[in-house]
Chains A and B, each alone.
Chain A
Amino acid sequence: MASSIRVRATSSGDTTEVQALIQHPMDSGFVKNAKGELVPPHFIQEVTFEYGGKSVFVADWGPAVSKDPYLKFAFKGGKKGDELKISWTDNKGGTDQTTAKIQ
């Protein structure tokens, strides 16, 4: 299976810009399915970005984050070719992680 995480990390000298897209339903618990039943909440609660063994960004999310969530941030430092580690966990205990090379 392909990873649920897509990452683009680009270094522009002193800062590294990171964009990530995660495949996840992000069900809020307020939406009904075709049968009229509420779809139980199922959403990512935490996303962590680590570089050089340190976390450079942590996202805490509620159910209001859009389906297939997107994030953009930047941090100082980050060398081309180095790895960035990304992981998420959701409210049902689901999790995934990946690494991305800084371009």
Chain B
Amino acid sequence: MSNEIDKTRRLILQGAAVIALAGITGIRFGLTEAFAAANDKYPEEAFKQKNGDDAIKSLYGKTAEKSDKVKLDAPEIAENGAVVPIGVSSSLADVTSIAILVTENPFTLAAAYKIPAGTVASVSNRLKMAKTTNVIAVVEAGGKLYSASKEVKVTVGGCGG
């Protein structure tokens, strides 16, 4: 495929994505909540925050309380800070969003997931960690925020593998 066609296709897709996003926003979330997590807009500001509380506030507009119904699956010692498998799940009802924060990273918010009705409240991904850090999982359920955290030890480089 030539570059021109590729580029054109990319531009078209971009346009289509914008239209699709605009369309959905109005219907699904327009009436209820105005915060980033509930919008279909990319939460630019939340991803710029340097501490956990600010990021959560920017994303959800409220604070989280600890809950044992938020399950955070993270290794005690990361094999490599570049690829740390992290899983979050919850037995809470009406989960609408899951966010994962890595407190020692330059920007704490790593990922935020929208969980539409009918999607299971569980996600696994792989994250980068700059150094030994707390990882915080935040779950939004029934309009409230719940969290769990765990320390992950990170070491880098060397004669391994």
A96 to B40, CA, bound (A): 18
A44 to B87, CA, bound (A): 19
Provide the residues of chain A in CB contact with B106, threshold 8 Å.
28, 30
B62 part of interface (Cβ distance < 8 Å): no
Structural contact, B17 and A89, CB atoms closer than 8 A: yes
Structural contact, B122 and A73, CB atoms closer than 8 A: yes
In this complex, what residue of A is CB-closest to B106?
A: A30
**Which residue of B1, B87, B119, B130 has the most chain A CB atoms within 10 A of its CB atom?**
B119
Structural contact, B118 and A73, CB atoms closer than 8 A: no
How many CB-defined contacts (below 8 Å) exist between A and B?
A: 112
Chain B interface residue count, Cβ-Cβ cutoff 8 angstroms: 39
Residue interface bits A52-90, CB-to-B below 8 A is 1, else 0: 001111111111111101111111110000000001010
Residue interface bits B102-135, CB-to-A below 8 A is 1, else 0: 1001110111111110111011111111100000
A59-B111 CB under 8 A given contacts A65-B127, A65-B128, A97-B13? yes
A23 part of interface (Cβ distance < 8 Å): no
Structural contact, B127 and A57, CB atoms closer than 8 A: no
Structural contact, A57 and B113, CB atoms closer than 8 A: yes
Interface size range of chain A in the complex: 35 or more
Would you give the shortest CB distance from A2 to chain B, in whole angstroms? Answer: 11
Residue interface bits B65-81, CB-to-A below 8 A is 1, else 0: 00000000000000000
Structural contact, B82 and A66, CB atoms closer than 8 A: yes
Would you give the shortest CB distance from B149 to chain A, in whole angstroms? Answer: 16
A29 to B101, CA, bound (A): 18
Structural contact, B115 and A66, CB atoms closer than 8 A: no
A56 to B128, CA, bound (A): 25
Provide the residues of chain A in CB contact with B122, threshold 8 Å.
73-74
A56 to B117, CA, bound (A): 8
Binding site for A on B (CB under 8 A): 1, 6, 10, 13-14, 17, 24, 40, 42-43, 47, 82-84, 87, 102, 105-107, 109-116, 118-120, 122-130
What are 10 A-B interface contacts by the 8 Å CB criterion?
A56-B118, A60-B112, A61-B111, A64-B102, A66-B126, A72-B125, A76-B118, A77-B118, A89-B14, A89-B17
